[in-house]
Amino acid sequence: MTMKNLIYFLFGLAVVLSACKRNRDEDFKVPPAIRSFWPNSGKPGTIVTINGAGFVKKDNEVSFNGTAATVVDVNDTVMTVLAPAGGSTGKVTVKTAGKELEAGTYTYQNLSMHGVSPLNGPAGTNIVVRGEGFGSTAAPAKVMINGKEAVITSVNDTLLIAAVPVGAGSGTIKVTVDNKEVTGPSFLFQDISKIKPLKGGKGTQVTITGEGFNAVAGNNSVAFNGKSATVISATATQLVVATPDDVATGPLSVTINGQKTVGPVFTVIPPPLLATVAPLSSPAGKDITITGSNFSSLMDENVVTFNGIAGTIKSAAEKQLVITIPTGAGSGNIKVWVNGQETAGPLFKEQNLGVVSLSPDNGLAGTTVTVSGIGFSTNATDNIVTFNGVAANVVSATDTELKVVAPAGLSTGTLDVKVSGLQATGPLFRRAGVMTLAGGPGSGLFTGALGLTGDRAGNLYFLQGYQVKKITPDGTVSTYAGGSTSGYADGSLSAAMFLGPHTITVDSQDNLYIQDGNGLRTYVRKITPAGQVSTVVTVFENMPGGLGVDRNGTIYLSKFYQGLYKVESNGSLTRIGNFTFTIPDKMAIDALGRAYYAGGDFYNPFIAMVTPAGEHSFLAGSNRYDPDFVDGDISGARLGSPLCVTIDPTSGNFFFVDNMAMAVRYATPSGTVKTVVGAEGTFQPFKMGYKDGTLKEALFRSMKGIHVDANGNIYVIEPENNAVRKIFLK
């Protein structure tokens, strides 16, 4: 091809492409249309904004009832004109892009609207309306938003301020004065009707439902208690957002064009906590139960997978989920998601053998346990049952129930079942329960006994008559110090005598402290591990039984209606705080020097704490008449007749006996009260008796002392049952 021919070819191609582009532009041209205009009334010269589409930049004609108007500015969607002088009320006509369109009726009058700000916001937003003719001596102006009347907070002839009414919705703004009306722009009403979920944590996806949102995700600013969140998707009525890493409990808010709408409170909770999962093996289609905390009571906010396959949530509560096992679960870990927060669970096997429950789920050697499940052999000897690896005797069997006897050598762990080559892991069985360590009804031991404490070797000490007595770990009872009659003498264990001992405690070095007295004087007697008795405190007045010793050997006493006193190194007493309660028995002193005691009586029972600075507070119960037998936090827990307080060195909780409940109970440092054992697990006041067994079987009567050893075992002394009982929790 010659150069000349090439030039002709390129020129021709350019002409063709130009024609194609022209045709394409014509194909995509938007036909002109008018959506709205405002204001729809005013004087000559009022600026009128016409909103629409397909406007052209030149050769536009606008007339007001036939009178030509000046076009000030125009783009493809907005045209701005001036109401012409000499015009009259009538139709506004627009000629653009070769087409003639009607915008609506414009009324020539003194009332006009020139601007509104803001044009979006929630109920209560103050909008400022600028214009003319708002003043009237006949009747006040009215502002309507989407047909609902707003409350005007300020008005003059050229300015109105009005509050957006509740439930206004989105729609046009209208002002009426002296039966004259002007229509302004549309107001976008913002409202949050609900958020789901209402609880979660970092990364939880929250759906916000309402109105007035911006369809462009980035134009909506969402915050959780002031912490900015990420908007994932947006429509005019729904936003989906991800909570920020530092999400905090508080109200959710949506801000658009500077206008904030406040929604419900979003509560931050920890990820789900799994306590038990049973059974850990079962065929598809059966149900498993997961207990724990931080689940959602709304089924669709919980997701449970088996080896990656989702199960069907059958029921949901905050502390329990019931899930149907999916087909194809195989063998793999369970995972639980609650509102996007994940917790890994134990291994699950899809098979025809499983352990559902144990009754009881705690006990000592010899306890008969009913094992419920599926796939057992009806031949008892074909079922191999172990308690934490120790084989047990199967007494009877059906395909869904086994009766087994907890073996000697029992320890806390899972109960497992093997049948025909299959193995099923069952729930945890705790070596827990109550046994009599020494004495028992009819033994004659412990009559009139008071107090209970123990040393690091596992020996227990209590008071009886004028003597300190000792119980060895095997339950042997002997006299440790003191004589059969009242007297006062320091010295060796055999030589020492006591006037009237009534409270006993121990320090971290195994020194025993006994509060002793004769009604005129109060003594604190000390017995060293080497067996020497001495008097370390003498007070020339009668004092109640409040006695405590901290880890440094500092002694604390109580006076009638004068609270707590610290014994200084020189033997003087320093009052701590100014509370007026009497501390009647053994108190516990923690590592920070805080004293915990059981106070009051049947009519005002409580557990209280006193700080070294003298600040006094109730941990449980109150100083008002409201006795009961109820566990719970500081606001709901009720006590009957608490006595003695001792610290559990393994947990830091404060154990005490409650003789209205006939139960052993404890309080956490934050004030939550729980019952360990008593009243056969019925929570019935004054349900008393004498029965060893599981934690739900045991009965007690009138306990006068409590001690917790280094292993977390609990001991109580019962003079009326002539017994010292040992409570196993581990």
Answer whether 715's CB lies under 8 Å from 706's CB. Answer: yes
pLDDT band at 625; cut points 50, 70, 90: low
For residue 606, count CB atoms less than 10 angstroms from its CB and return exposed for 0-12, middle for 13-18, buried for 19 or more.
buried
Instruction: Assess contact for 439 and 446: CB atoms under 8 A.
Output: yes
In the chain the domains, ranked by start, together with CATH numbers, are: 33-108 (2.60.40.10), 112-189 (2.60.40.10), 191-268 (2.60.40.10), 273-350 (2.60.40.10), 354-431 (2.60.40.10), 436-728 (2.120.10.30)
- Computed over every residue of the chain, the mean pLDDT equals 91
pLDDT tens by residue, 669-695: 888 999 999 988 888 888 999 999 999
pLDDT given for residue 19 in this prediction: 46
Neighbouring residues of 483: CB distance < 8 A, sequence distance ≥ 6 = 466, 467, 497, 498
Q: Is the dihedral of CA 332, 336, 342, 343 positive or negative?
A: negative
Q: What does DSSP assign to residue 217?
A: G
> How crowded is the C-beta side of 548, counted as CA atoms within 13 Å?
30
Q: Please report the beta strands in 190-310, taking only residues with DSSP state E, as ranges in sequence order.
A: 191-196, 199-200, 205-211, 221-224, 227-228, 230-234, 238-242, 250-256, 259-268, 273-278, 281-282, 287-293, 302-306, 309-310
461 burial (CB, 10 Å; 0-12 / 13-18 / 19+) is: buried
Average pLDDT in the 622-632 region? Answer: 69
State residue 10's pLDDT score. 45
Distance CA 434, CA 432 (A): 7
Residue 308 has pLDDT above 50, yes or no: yes
| Band of pLDDT at residue 599, cut at 50, 70 and 90 | confident
What percentage of the chain has pLDDT greater than the value 70? 95
Residue 38: phi and psi, rounded to 5, are -160, 155
Mean pLDDT within 178-199? 94
Let me know: does 251 contact 208? Beta carbons within 8 Å: no
Residue 195 · residue 209 · CB < 8 Å: yes
Question: Which SS3 state, helix, strand or coil, does residue 381 take?
Answer: helix
Give the per-residue pLDDT at 604: 74
- Residue-level pLDDT at 730: 73
Residue 624 has pLDDT above 80, yes or no: no
Going by pLDDT thresholds of 50, 70 and 90, the confidence category of residue 17 is very low
Q: What does the pLDDT read at residue 602?
A: 63
Q: Which amino acid is at 204?
A: T
Confidence of residue 253 (pLDDT cuts 50, 70, 90): very high
Residues 276-304 pLDDT 10s: 999 999 999 999 999 999 999 999 999 99
Tell me, what's the pLDDT at 22? 46
Note whether 287 and 325 are within 8 A (CB).
yes
Weakest mean pLDDT among 246-255, 518-527, 593-602 = 593-602
pLDDT, tens only, 200-240: 999 899 999 999 999 999 999 999 999 999 999 999 999 99
Residue 702, both tokens: 């009138």
Q: Which tens digits make up the pLDDT trace of 410-466? A: 999 999 999 999 999 999 999 999 999 999 999 999 999 999 999 999 999 999 999
